[in-house]
């Protein structure tokens, strides 16, 4: 698993769990859903996320671009 895939899994789980808690426990849990969304938004703009820093320090590797991915290799005509 890469840092990026793990981060998406964690974010998705947090959103689903906080939505369930907001529905069944207390509406205040929806604030946590908003926090996750805001963090994803700022991460998209700044390309920095605290969770990614933590995952890298735990030894998780970043994704490596393969030759067929966008932005690498010769352009197909």
- Asked if residue 4 lies in contact with residue 61, where contact means CB atoms within 8 angstroms, the answer is no
Half-sphere exposure of 68 (CA within 13 A, CB side): 0
pTM: 0.76
What confidence tens digit (pLDDT) does each residue in 20-68 have?
Answer: 999 999 999 999 999 999 999 999 999 999 999 999 999 999 988 666 5
């Amino acid at each position: 698993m890469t840092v990026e895939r793990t981060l998406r899994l964690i974010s998705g789980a947090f959103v689903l769990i906080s939505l369930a808690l907001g529905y069944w426990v207390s509406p205040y849990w929806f604030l946590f859903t908003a926090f996750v969304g805001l963090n994803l938004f700022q991460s998209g703009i700044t390309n920095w996320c605290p969770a990614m820093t933590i995952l890298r320090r735990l030894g998780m590797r970043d994704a490596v671009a393969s030759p067929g991915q966008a932005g690498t290799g010769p352009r197909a005509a």
